[in-house]
Amino acid sequence: MPSRSEMGRGGDIAIVGWAQTPMERHTEKSETQLLMDVISAALAPLGLTRADIDFTCLGSCDYITGQAFSFVSNLDAIGAWPPKRDSHVEMDGAWALYEAWLRLQEGDIEIAVVTGSGRSSTGDPSLIYPMEMDPYFLAPLGADPLTFAALQARAVIASGIADERSMAEVAIRSRSRGDVDALLAEDYIREPLRRHDVPPITDGAAAMVVATGDRARRLVERPAYITGFDHRTECHNPSFRALDDSPSTRLAAEAAGLGDGPIEVAELQAAFTHEELLLADVLDLGDDVSVNPSGGALRANPIMATGLCRIGHAADHVMSGGHRALAHSTSGPCLQQNLVCIVADTP
């Protein structure tokens, strides 16, 4: 296997395009159909076909689909004949990208496609996610995502990082609608969270094309080079964590080289308003950084694709003329596991 230095310029890995399905509360398409559409949409502008793809990695979740090995039927969307190099992560597509980024570093292949997909409307998220929690102490209580988010919000508010007004402002900016005083007059759904503080339930999928340096430069004028990529996790039970901090995000950002230079955009997978304020604080983002210009997870939250969409929007910033952007993805209750990806216009 060649070392990094032997790989030279070929060691660069860049995002060259991506696509997302329409983000809907309830789609009539199956997950396989969503992927069929979105993979075609990601490849077509690049003049690529499925035959050009050397490696695929799909991110999805059987718990959401309600079918064991659901990713096997999703393979129908990638055209896996002749047999392809393929992998799957039971995680957001952002982690599928992480695997593809590692795989491309082997240096023997040039192009990978990664996806994230989920039909949250298939089940009731408020009843499904408690079953993914600690099976001894949390699942039997029906400890649900809103409850965990509310407990973290209270901790973030107590630490002075957020208050209910600044949280409402995040909601308004993300969704480009609403009035702070009107929102704060609404009832709590889980004190201190109101309806506007929580994400929508969304069906959707995203697909991204990544390529090694020379191939990327032939495909597009401005590839979004992945210059740093890391993910870290914390203890599974939120009882044992400081909920007003996110040390795993901080470590991942340091390892991904956030401090090596300025960024213009940060796309954060903050499903709840207080999460955006906490993450911005932990990452020490200045006022000059545009946070979630896409509207973030508060505008569309296709679970298993939400994080990959963050990376896609950060890449769009670079491909459309920007210099450097950060994307973040998360998994587990109260920001248990966090991923940071830095993209830039130079390797």
Partner 1 sequence: MTRFVASTITFPYKRSLGPVVGAFMSALTERRILGIRNGAAVLVPPMEWDPTTGAELAHDFVEVGPAGTIKSWTWVPFPSEQHPLAHPFAFALILLDGSTTPLLHAVDAGSPNAMVEGARVAPRWRGTRLGRIDDIVCFIPGETPETEGDDTGPTEEPVTRMDYLASITYRNPVPDATDRAIEASKDQCLLGLRCPTCKRVYAGGRGYCPIDALELGPDCEVELPHVGTITNFCIVTPVQYPGQTETEPFVRAFVLLDGTDVIIPYAVVIDLPADEVRVGQRVAGVWASPAEEMDEGGGMGGAWGALTGWIPNGEPDVDDPDLVNRIF
**Residues near partner 1 (CB under 8 A):** 27-30, 32-33, 36, 39-40, 50, 63, 65-66, 75-81, 121-124, 126-128, 130-131, 135-144, 146-147, 150-151, 154-155, 187-193, 235, 237-240, 243
Peptide bond preceding 192 in cis form (omega within 30 of 0)? yes
- Which CB sits closer to partner 1, 108 or 124? 124
Between 182 and 235, CB nearer to partner 1: 235
Provide the minimum distance between the beta carbon of 102 and partner 1 in the complex, in angstroms, as a whole number.
Answer: 24
Distance CA(347)–CA(344), nearest Å, equals: 7
Q: Which is nearer to partner 1, 149 or 263 (CB)?
A: 149
Contact in structure between 277 and 173 (CB atoms under 8 Å): no
Task: Supply the minimum distance, in Å, between the C-beta of residue 48 and partner 1.
Answer: 13
The residue among 87, 74, 80 whose CA lies nearest residue 34 is 74
Report the candidate in 297, 214, 264, 266 with the shortest Cα–Cα distance to residue 20.
297
Give the number of residues written for the chain. 347
State the nearest-atom distance from the C-beta of 239 to partner 1, in Å. 5
The dihedral formed by the CA atoms of 273, 93, 146 and 242, expressed in degrees to the nearest 10: -70
Smaller CB distance to partner 1: residue 146 or 285?
A: 146
Nearer to partner 1, 32 or 87 (CB): 32
φ, ψ at 204 (rounded to 5°): 175, 175
Minimum CB separation of residue 238 from partner 1 in Å reads: 8
CA distances from 25 to 22, 39, 311, 325 (A): 10, 21, 22, 29
Q: How far apart are CA 324 and CA 180, in angstroms?
A: 32
Given the complex with partner 1, which of 144 and 245 has the nearer CB atom?
A: 144
Cβ-based nearer residue to partner 1, 62 or 108: 62
**What are 214-219's contacts with CB under 8 Å, separation 24+?**
214/9, 214/10, 215/110, 215/111, 216/12, 216/13, 216/14, 216/16, 217/14, 219/16, 219/17, 219/46, 219/47, 219/48
Minimum Å distance from CB 63 to partner 1?
8
Give the nearest distance from C-beta 329 to partner 1 in angstroms.
23
Cis ω on the peptide bond leading into residue 45 (within 30° of 0)?
no
- Phi and psi of 220, rounded to 5°? -140, 155
Closest to partner 1 by CB, 137 or 284: 137
φ, ψ of residue 46 in degrees (nearest 5): -90, -5
Which of residues 80 and 109 has its CB atom nearest to partner 1 in the complex?
80
Which of 208, 24, 50, 18 is CA-nearest to residue 118? 24
